[in-house]
Amino acid sequence: MKPFIWIMTAMLILSYESLLAQTCLQGGWNVSRQGQIDSFNIINPGCASIMGSLRIDGANIFNLDSLDQVRSIQGDLTIENSGLTDLKGLSNLEAVSSTFWIRSNPSLISIDELSSLNFVGDGLLITSNDALDSISGFQQLDSLTSLSISHNDSLKKITGFPQLTYIAENLIIKNHLALESIDGFTALRHIGFQLFIDDNHSLKTLYGLHLIENFNGGIFITDNDSLESIDLNQLPNAEFITIQDNYSLTTLSGLSGLKKINGNLSIENNASLTSLDGLDSLIEIRVSLDISDNASLTSIEGLRNVKKASFVRIKNNDLLQSLHGFPAADSLKYGVEILDNALLQNLEGMDALAYAKYLWIENNTSLLHFGGLSSLQFVEETFSVDGNDSLQTTLGLQSLTHIGSLTICNNQNLLAIEGFQELDTIFGYFNICGNFSLQSLSDFSNLRYIGKSFLVQTNHSISNLDGLNKLNLIEGNFFIGSNNALLSLDGIDSLLQINGNNFTISANYHLVDIGNIENFNLDSITSLNIKQCFDLDVCSYSNICNYIGSGRQSEIFSNESGCNSEAEVLNGCSVSIPSIEHGNELLLFPNPTNGSVSLPDQPFEISKIEIIDLMGNRLDNWSYDQQQIDITSFPPGIYYVRITCSTNYYQGRVVKI
């Protein structure tokens, strides 16, 4: 409401003054030569109000003295690319109804002369004036729509604006090499939208902004190399705050009044920041908290009173050893990332967390265990434990019952996966890979269902799959590969159904027994691969025999003799069928078939026809008519047809596809 009142008041004043004072230049005025300025009073005697925009743009314009009678400009005022050193001719200017630009004036040293200015309708922008070393004046301005001061290479201090209390939109101070002080803003109480303090290499403090108490937008304090303190102690809330790339910043004590952030809090790459002390009053972060790349940070205890957040990332803080102070939220609906913190040893401090959309614990090279996650019950999407080189156990997850996908990979010293004994369902992927010291999967003792693919790969110390004894259904692909010490698949005895497309057992160099897969239903599999298991000599199990016999895609090679090719496997498949004496082989055609096969003309009377599967079972769901045997109802696989006559029997093999 306040901006509307002061804008309307100013417009009424301007309208009234325009009636009293002579006006001129109804369509505005573009000035490019000094002569135009010098003749202004002659051509426009008594003119106090220019009824349009004024643009002063010319390198040969050196003074504005002849504009000293102008009190208002009913449009934009732009002063750019001039030869001016000061603005003395504008000492009586009181109002600019739209935007006021002072930009790219390479010789401009002073703008102190604007002491009468009390109204700017839109923004005030002071930018790219290379010689400007201070900004004072503006003593009459108490409010602005927005203020931007940027790219003034010689600017050292801002001491003007002593009455400015209200900025309706943005305050921007950025890209100054020499700026040391902004203490001219000591009256400022309100910023309506955003505060940008960016790339001011000599600025050490934000004193001058220390009394701001009403703030409705976001704060960016970024890339200020010399900044040591923030000085926003009266600020109670913000939409979001980014504090980033401030090399010398050592403390956040200047945020001691901050209680609530409606969006994100990001504290990143502040090389000298050692703690988050100063955020002790902060209770709520509605969206995300990102603490990343702060090389000297040793503690986050300053966040200990935060009770609500939706996402937390703590990443690449080289000296951080503890998570004490982690937000005490029981639910983080957008997820948690604990990444690349080289000295972090445990997760203590996360004790309140019960639910996370996803949880990534990755590349924390000193992490030893999962102490601190004892309340965690539900990870909706991915729970990833990856690249934690010192991690020896996952103990500490005793409350966990539901996971979207599980990835435990590349933890070089992980000996045991523990703490998953309450877990009965994984809705997505199950990936255990690259854990060279892992010896056991024993704590998955209640796991029954995996909703997507199953992968156990490159775990060089695991010898069997004990711990997966209750697993009975995998909805995706099945892959066991490059586990150098794996001897058998013992532990997956209950697994009956694999609904993915790919079944692979590969490069398990010492694997000798895969008999536990004999009961797997492979009906949905379209690619079966058993390869580079140098000690494996038996693969002729009924489900594999039927699969290969059906003509579907397979690769079987580089295993021990007996399981070194599809032909060797099929030869092993027929061992339960009585052998055929020479001359008694029965030729069937077409072969393979998808329905019926024909018998050749025989010089004998058939007394009996039998069809036998690879297990030696005699089947009866077929029909015979005029030398045609119909096996349409049979599932794909290999079958034997035996014909008995009065003196002998004949037998042939048919592949049903």
Query: What single DSSP character describes residue 36?
Result: H
Q: By C-alpha distance, which of 83, 119, 128 is closest to 101?
A: 128
CA distance 629 to 639: 12
Phi-psi region of 293 (alpha: psi -120 to 50; beta: other; left: phi over 0): left
Tokens of 656: 């049903």
Cis status of the peptide bond prior to 590, with omega within 30 of 0: yes
CA distance 113 to 513: 92
User: In 3-state terms, what secondary structure has residue 426?
Assistant: strand
CA distance 200 to 207: 14
CA distance 454 to 473: 10
Angle, vertex CA 437, rays to CA 370 and CA 361, nearest 5: 30
CA distance 140 to 185: 13
CA distance 538 to 554: 16
Q: Beta strands of 246-297 (E only): which ranges? A: 260-261, 265-268, 284-285, 288-292
CA distance 502 to 211: 66
User: In 3-state terms, what secondary structure has residue 409?
Assistant: strand
CA distance 224 to 97: 34
Q: Per 3-state DSSP, what percentage of the chain is helix, strand, and coil (rounded to 5)? A: 10, 30, 60
Tokens of 446: 């209640």
Q: What is the pLDDT of residue 574?
A: 60
Which portions of the chain are predicted below pLDDT 50? 1-2, 4-20, 575-576, 578-583
* pLDDT tens-digit series, residues 232-269: 999 999 999 999 999 999 999 999 999 999 999 999 99
* pLDDT tens-digit series, residues 187-199: 999 999 999 999 9
- Mode of pairing for the β-strands spanning 637-645 and 649-656: antiparallel
Cis status of the peptide bond prior to 592, with omega within 30 of 0: yes
What single string gives the DSSP state of each residue in 239-298?
SEEEEE--TT----GGGTT--EESS-EEEE--TT----TT-TT--EESSEEEEE--TT--
CA distance 638 to 619: 13
Structural domains in the chain, CATH included, are 1-188 (3.80.10), 596-656 (no CATH)
Q: Are 134 and 111 in contact (CB under 8 A)?
A: no
Distances 346 to 197, 297, 343, 351, 627 between C-alpha atoms, Å: 36, 16, 9, 11, 75
Q: Beta strands of 262-349 (E only): which ranges? A: 265-268, 284-285, 288-292, 311-315, 331-332, 335-339
Q: By C-alpha distance, which of 568, 548, 542, 566 is closest to 556?
A: 566
- Residue whose entry in the numeric block shows the structure tokens 């009044």: 257
Q: What is the pLDDT of residue 349?
A: 94
Cis status of the peptide bond prior to 162, with omega within 30 of 0: no
CA distance 441 to 435: 12
Please compute Rg for the chain using Cα positions.
40
**What residue type is 197 in one-letter code?**
I
Q: Each residue of 80-105: b (16+ CB within 10 Å) or e?
A: bbbebebbebbbbbbbbbebbbbbbb
Angle, vertex CA 135, rays to CA 131 and CA 140, nearest 5: 145
Q: Are 573 and 545 in contact (CB under 8 A)?
A: yes
Which are the contacts of 480, defined by CB distance < 8 A and separation ≥ 6?
455, 456, 457, 486, 489, 504, 505, 506, 508
Half-sphere exposure of 338 (CA within 13 A, CB side): 29
User: In 3-state terms, what secondary structure has residue 543?
Assistant: helix
End-to-end CA distance of the chain: 79
CA distance 477 to 247: 49
Which are the contacts of 479, defined by CB distance < 8 A and separation ≥ 6?
453, 454, 455, 456, 457, 502, 504, 506
Tokens of 264: 């994100």
CA distance 2 to 6: 6
Q: By C-alpha distance, which of 357, 416, 359, 412 is closest to 384?
A: 359
CA distance 36 to 260: 55
CA distance 177 to 193: 26
CA dihedral over 312, 302, 181, 213, signed as positive or negative:
positive
Which are the contacts of 265, defined by CB distance < 8 A and separation ≥ 6?
240, 241, 282, 285, 288, 289, 290
Which are the contacts of 463, defined by CB distance < 8 A and separation ≥ 6?
439, 485, 486, 487, 488
Q: What is the pLDDT of residue 9?
A: 46
User: In 3-state terms, what secondary structure has residue 567?
Assistant: helix
Taking each helix axis from N to C terminus, what angle separates 542-549 and 566-573, rounded to the nearest 10 degrees? 120
* pLDDT tens-digit series, residues 572-583: 876 445 444 444
Q: What is the pLDDT of residue 629?
A: 82
Kindly compute the dihedral angle of the four CA atoms of residues 62, 66, 70, 75, in this order, to the nearest 10 degrees.
-40
Which are the contacts of 20, defined by CB distance < 8 A and separation ≥ 6?
none
